[in-house]
A and B are shown apart, each in its own frame.
Chain A
Amino acid sequence: MIDEDVAETALEEVLSKETPILAEVRVEHTSRRQVSLKAGQVSNLSSFRDLGMNVRVFLPQGIGFASTNRISRGAAKDLAAQALKLAKVCKRPVPLSISPEPAVKTDWEVKQKRPLSDVSMEERVSYLKEVDAGTLKAGVKVGGRYFELADYETESLFANSEGSRIRSMVPRLKLETYMLVSSKGESEQSLREFGASAGWEKAHEWDLPHVMGAEVLMLKKMIDKGKKIKPGKVDLICGAEVAGIAAHESCGHPMEADRILGREMSQAGKSFVSPEMLGQRVGSEYATVVDDPTVQGSYGYYAYDHEGVRAKPRYLYNNGLFNEFLHNRETAASMGVRSNGSSRSDGYLREPIVRMANTFIAPGDFEEDEIFGSIKEGILMKSFTEWNIDDKRYNQKYVSREAYFIRDGELGGPARRCVLEITTPGFWGAIDAVSRKVEFSAGECGKGDPMQSMSVSMGGPMLRLRSVMLK
């Protein structure tokens, strides 16, 4: 149990010396386990416990943030003094302001059917060996089978000078898989992530022995039978994984308000979007993208953000229009709106910044066979391997991991490494059909300086894009 007194001591210390716009304290206790399996054998086992805290102070001249893994009332006082001193260094010419938000007193937690802390290392290793056995059972030559399973439980106390006191407990579980399939002197790689905010029960719901077996069979098929496409304009169907990465990269990131305001300019970059573009068109009427932290069990789940603001769904693109940015309290104030609860940090050592949670394309009302039916010549890109996007989030590239030709509405043979290199309005403007079923995949999103790795998920239904250039 986290000692509330250290948080109160830190707040009292700040308030005894200054009248800040806001002071916040976060105390966190995390227990974490990690197991790696390489070619069926254990290659690493780790177990951690971590307890630490931070103090963040908002003064008109700027923000000061200090953190430490030393916990005591004395350390809390020192940290408060340090954060105050750092805030005074900033000397902003225009006084800082933050959006008004209600004080919240609550507890929240993600329930676990089987707590992660109850699972032995042996059971974790057995689980990974089952995944490995399922992969091998497919009878395909798979080099480099490498699986990393990590899980952690984070108990947190957030307190601020406005009276918020929020306690939380979040368990998260993730698995990263690395595989290289070889056949006939060629190879294809698969790098995948699975994640959830849940207990150990989720690991079995993923059914990974079967999923990984199917994955390596698919890659072998791509090598043995996949044909390169003839570059040109075709109709393209994107599967949920491709829809999800596009939602994350070319909607979620450019709609982060801190990026739009330039706060991340020298690292993750700026955005092609500017505040006055709200209400303008970016895509077709089928382009609705939601970022929703409240999806139960999702890898990006949270109930309150790291500024104590209640989480809610954010409609970033709505029916093809720029609709809503992701905000923390500082960016919200600078644009004259309220925070929509997008402030997150990957641990007590780092300042919270604007982040996504679970970003997905909203479902439509097309059946999947309707989407295929009207395509004379096209490609289904089910999943991707290489991808990237520029720092203003305008030029993106997705290379298929699994893709198929479509002829006269019917799925044909495999197409190998199809390349979609397209602008953001080009992608979102070409959508003319969206299916009903949304599927998610997990990811670790990198942003901030120092880099913060954030648990997120991304997804979507099946999308149909008309007449886009594929190479």
Chain B
Amino acid sequence: MSELKEQSERIMELARTAGADDAIAEVIDSSVSQIRFSANRVDASNSWSEKHAIVLVAVGNRTMSTDLRDLDNAKQIVQELVSLAKKSPPNKAYGGIASGKFKYSKGRADRAIKNLRDPSRYVHDAIAGARSEGAIDVGGTMYVTHERNGIASTGGALAEAERAHVRLSVRAFAQPEASGQTVSCNPRLSSLKAREVGARAGELARMAENPVQGEEGKLDLIMEPLFLGCLVQSVGSMMSALRVDIELSMFAKKIGKRVSSDEITFVDDPIMESTSSRAFDHEGVPTRRNVVIKDGVLKTYLHNTSTAKKFKTRTTASAGPLVPTIFTLATQPLAFHPVVLPGGWKAEEIIKDTKNGIYLNNTWYTRYQNYSTGDFSTIPRDALLKIENGEIVGPVKNIRVSDNMLNLLKSIDAVSKTSQEVFWWDEANPPATLPMIRVKAMRITRSS
């Protein structure tokens, strides 16, 4: 048995010996290096190295979880954790942990990424690419990540996985108000074309030069995969059964009902090769491909064992982190790798077919007046290109999409044949593989 599996099992056994009925231990050993750049230069180079274990223990329905950071003192900390659980009030939402004889797929981390010592040349290539297209100011980040996880549970989970990836994000400015943003997500180093990523950001920036004030009204919106990825963050989160349970979801009570146009099939696919592929969820259940929306109809929510029990169904192997993480609810089931299946349109055909619309490169700050109804707005950024009669006629600025998310999903009438994996900062997160889409007649607003 390999080291991380062994360590996870040892921690799980420590919990059992201390009196836990159920226990899950996930040991995570990660090293991440990052280069941050702006103004065409590298600003800072960072590295984070962590080895820790996420542990959940349950005594009956009294639960306690921790992020065990001091692995040398695991025995003492686990004993304290179990003791704390015994003294805690019952957790009525706890539905136990998954049990069974699990079989896991084996992924392999790209050796070239694991061996990459100095990624700065890719950053310089990206900057050069953007500048070759006319950008005057280029910034972004590059991440190189290598992570190994081991997991063991009293329910029979015992597994180990490894992944490695590189992610590059480039924002290029051709003028103070003319920018383009691109990203590249790569589970294999050989697929990173840093110069091309930079060049496309530069090209978009140049296309966005001399923007004019955008106007209010209803327009067709063509969304790049990156833009869609920023919306998928909140849409995917609302597919979580916990969000549905606390009524912070527009998908509540809509299983079997139409929630988007029939152009849309939305899948959470942690199995396909991507930068967020996973062999098991945070309960140790082997991951699987979950079809959440099929041809516009909502098929399921995303579940862990506890939410599945409450909803009288089975886990979808979507258990999220067992301890609270930044800007998500504690124990929230989640999508690991959202995918919108490709459609039948060539990207250029979508533009040609649009009479009065805007091509949208990127967005941020998507916020909801009411999650249960889907009323929201988002602020497009970077290249926003006006389309008239099938042609891009020039850039606009200072607009906001203020509409309803269910209406947006139902108004999608074109989906491209090609897809791209996107991940950007905290907006297009988690990584998702998405096509370009067109949404009919969305409401555009602006400052008065």
Contact = CB atoms under 8 A, between A and B. Distances in A.
Contact of A388 (B176, B247, B365): B365
Q: Which of B89, B323, B375 has the most CB of A within 10 A?
A: B89
Interface string A108-121: 00000000000011
Contacts of A146: 246, 248, 329
A47 B66 CA distance: 5
B49 A68 contact: yes
A208 B366 CA distance: 29
Interface string B84-96: 1101111111000
Contact of B371 (A189, A264, A451): A189
Nearest to A451: B426
A245 to B, nearest CB: 11
B400 A388 contact: yes
Interface of B: 33-36, 38-39, 41-52, 63-67, 69-70, 77, 81, 84-85, 87-93, 118, 120, 137, 139-141, 169-171, 173, 176-177, 181, 245-248, 323-324, 326-327, 329-331, 364-373, 375-379, 381, 398, 400, 402, 425-426, 445-448
B331 A189 contact: no
A44 B77 CA distance: 19
- 4 smallest A-B Cβ distances: which pairs? A144-B247, A469-B448, A388-B365, A266-B171
Contacts, number: 268
Contact of B379 (A52, A265, A389): A389
B91 A44 contact: yes
16 contacts: A42-B89, A43-B93, A44-B93, A45-B88, A48-B67, A67-B49, A69-B50, A69-B52, A90-B120, A180-B370, A188-B370, A189-B370, A264-B38, A389-B379, A390-B365, A444-B327
Contact of A65 (B44, B85, B364, B372): B44
B400 A449 contact: no
Interface stretch (A5-13, A359-367, A420-428): A420-428
B331 A48 contact: no
Given A90-B45, A266-B170, A391-B381, A421 B52 contact: no
Q: Which of A36, A87, A389 has the most CB of B within 10 A?
A: A36
Contacts of A137: none
B247 A180 contact: yes
A63 interface: yes
A41 B445 CA distance: 41
A197 to B, nearest CB: 19
Q: How large is the interface on A (under 10, 10 to 19, 20 to 34, 35 or more residues)?
A: 35 or more
Interface in A409-461: 417, 419, 421-423, 426, 444, 446, 449-451, 453
Contacts of B64: 45-47, 121
A143 B245 CA distance: 9
A188 B50 CA distance: 42
A450 B427 CA distance: 11
Q: Which of A63, A349, A386, A417 has the most CB of B within 10 A?
A: A386
A228 interface: no
A444 B324 CA distance: 15
Contacts of B170: 266
B42 A92 contact: yes
Contacts of A86: 33, 45-47
